[in-house]
Amino acid sequence: MIRHGQRTTIAAIVLTAAFLAAGTARAGTLSCSVASSCPDGVVVFRMSDTTDAHGELPSQSNYGQLVCCQNVYGLGNACSGTYATVIKLSDVTNAHAEIGTETNYPDSACLDVPAGGSVTVGYQATDCAGYDTTVASMSTADTNAHLGDAAAYPNKICASATGVNPAPHLDTISPTSAWIGQSVELRLTGENFFSGSEVRIDGGARTAHLDGADLVADASGLAVGDHAVTVFNPTPGGGTSDPLTLTINQAWENVTLTSLPVAPASAHVIARRIYRTAANGSTFTLVGEIRDNATTTYTDSASDGSIGGQPPAPTANTTGLVPRYIAALPLDPGTSLSLTGLPIGGNNTGYYIIRTTAGTVIVGACYGENNQAIRLSR
């Protein structure tokens, strides 16, 4: 017979002690209370009142005081698998109670967790030091007891539990792209998210919180390019979701060029083409055409992603870029850049633009015999 102040465990609890000593994380700390409803937890048993009460199994519906336990993933009230008996009752309802290791009463009220977790139940006087929570209290230390809430009697029913975290599944992220420097609040939808879930971008944890069933994370401060977004759930169990991609785009998507030089009449130029690279790229592609030899302005608003299928620049004599003019000009969207000092050859075939993430725009003119360029720097 287990007496007042002694602790009762089951074989699964030995495994629990080894698990926690190895440094594994818990999905949450078990918490139990007596209430009239239990919407987010598991009903362990029911009582007729908060003190001097009879008990009944959770499958019954005669009593309105519910002993409700929660905060551990996968927690249940089955008396099978990885479980511990919380109390035994003399009948399914209108029953007296005894501690789980006594053998006088036939009906058990239990807590269980998935395989790999653990659950411990014990009985102590005064408080539940060393356990996660006080489940309820009893009028006697062993058997033939009335029941009450945690404060009703000095004989406490105590419990601890460790669940097994689910593997997360990431369905969507929103937004899927943003501009460099933009403040980004990233919403993640999927399955098996909980308060211990981490949002990781390129493997690093980001500040995040639960919003209903979704996760919301701060994705600000990322560099230009594609970034892998995942959700990580800690052990025991847990794991990392498959990644989704968040793309950070270069913000300089609109640059207006003014004072573009024109060719002399003797050159017989009837149109001029504008070529540029993507940010930090090396392949010149067509972004526009000026269909005369008089217009001196051009606005480039093409995104990097839209120019990949355009024709490439002429490849003849593409070496020998000559820096001719340097001006410290900001390159924010909509900035006008005045280009001066660019000589025009007799067989000019067009202009090209290079934009870089370092804040540099290079504007060049293509010649049959030589290439010359204007370079503008932030």
Write out pLDDT tens, residues 331-351.
444 445 555 545 444 444 455
User: Rounded CA gap, 263 and 293, in Å?
Assistant: 7
Length of the chain in residues, anyone?
378
pLDDT at position 303 is 73
Cα–Cα–Cα angle for 243, 245, 250, nearest 5°? 155
Q: Does residue 2 sit within a domain?
A: no
Please identify, among 138, 162, 186, the residue that sits at the C-terminal boundary of a domain: 162
Residue 10 has pLDDT above 90, yes or no: no
Q: Which of 24-33, 51-60, 223-232, 279-288 has the lowest mean pLDDT?
A: 24-33
Q: Does residue 35 sit within a domain?
A: yes
CA 231 and chain centroid, separation: 5
Instruction: Decide: helix, strand or coil at residue 377.
Output: strand
pLDDT in tens, 132-146: 999 999 999 999 999
Residue 164 has pLDDT above 80, yes or no: yes
- What residues have CB less than 8 Å from 224, skipping those under 6 apart? 180, 248, 249, 250, 279, 357
Are 52 and 139 contained in the same domain? yes
Are 180 and 150 contained in the same domain? no
User: Rounded CA gap, 314 and 322, in Å?
Assistant: 17
58, 43 contact by CB (below 8 A): yes
Average pLDDT over residues 146-164: 96
Query: What type of residue sits at position 207?
Result: T
Q: Which of 38-47, 97-106, 151-160, 172-181 has the lowest mean pLDDT?
A: 172-181
Residue 256 has pLDDT above 80, yes or no: no
Q: Does residue 314 sit within a domain?
A: yes
Are 36 and 142 contained in the same domain? yes
Please identify, among 199, 222, 249, the residue that sits at the C-terminal boundary of a domain: 249
pLDDT at position 364 is 57
Q: Does residue 267 sit within a domain?
A: yes
Q: Which of 192-196, 264-268, 290-294 has the lowest mean pLDDT?
A: 264-268
Residue 30 has pLDDT above 90, yes or no: yes
Residue 292 has pLDDT above 80, yes or no: yes
Are 188 and 289 contained in the same domain? no
- Asked if the peptide bond before residue 236 counts as cis, ω within 30 degrees of 0, the response is yes
Q: Give 336-370 as a DSSP string.
A: EEE-------TTEEEEEEEE-TTSEEEEEEEESS-
Are 109 and 123 contained in the same domain? yes
pLDDT at position 48 is 98
Residue 376 has pLDDT above 60, yes or no: no
Are 129 and 43 contained in the same domain? yes
| Partners of 76 in beta bridges | 112
Are 16 and 151 contained in the same domain? yes
Are 274 and 229 contained in the same domain? no
Of 164, 168, 218, 167, nearest to 189 (Cα)? 168
Number of domains into which the chain is organized: 3
Average pLDDT over residues 104-124: 95
Distances (CA, A) of 244 to 175, 199, 237, 265: 11, 12, 22, 55
Output 129 or 251, whichever has higher pLDDT. 129
Burial readout 164-202 (b: 16 or more C-beta within 10 A, e: otherwise): bbbebebeebeeeebebeeebebebebebbbebbbbbbe
Q: Does residue 270 sit within a domain?
A: yes
User: Rounded CA gap, 29 and 269, in Å?
Assistant: 78
Residue 365 pLDDT level (bands cut at 50, 70, 90): low
| Partners of 286 in beta bridges | 275
* Percentage above 70 pLDDT, the chain: 74
Residue 151 pLDDT level (bands cut at 50, 70, 90): very high
Are 135 and 186 contained in the same domain? no
Distances (CA, A) of 333 to 9, 177, 255, 274, 355: 68, 18, 6, 18, 12
User: Rounded CA gap, 171 and 183, in Å?
Assistant: 22
Please identify, among 249, 277, 304, the residue that sits at the C-terminal boundary of a domain: 249
Are 238 and 116 contained in the same domain? no
User: Rounded CA gap, 171 and 187, in Å?
Assistant: 11
CA 272 and chain centroid, separation: 49
User: Rounded CA gap, 58 and 298, in Å?
Assistant: 76
Average pLDDT over residues 192-218: 94
User: Rounded CA gap, 75 and 119, in Å?
Assistant: 9
User: Rounded CA gap, 182 and 133, in Å?
Assistant: 45
Full residue range of the structural domain in which residue 328 is found: 255-377
Query: Checking DSSP bridges between strand 169-174 and strand 185-191, what pairing results, if any?
Result: antiparallel
Are 184 and 151 contained in the same domain? no
Q: Does residue 362 sit within a domain?
A: yes
pLDDT at position 259 is 81
Residue with tokens 């419990």: 159
Residue 13 pLDDT level (bands cut at 50, 70, 90): very low
- What residues have CB less than 8 Å from 270, skipping those under 6 apart? 291, 292, 293
Average pLDDT score, the chain:
79
pLDDT at position 291 is 85
pLDDT at position 289 is 84
- CA-based end-to-end distance of the chain: 84
pLDDT at position 284 is 82
CATH code assigned at 194? 2.60.40.10
Q: Does residue 1 sit within a domain?
A: no
Average pLDDT over residues 44-50: 98
Output 40 or 336, whichever has higher pLDDT. 40
Query: Checking DSSP bridges between strand 185-191 and strand 155-162, what pairing results, if any?
Result: unpaired
Are 289 and 360 contained in the same domain? yes
Q: Does residue 56 sit within a domain?
A: yes
pLDDT at position 102 is 97
| Partners of 32 in beta bridges | 69
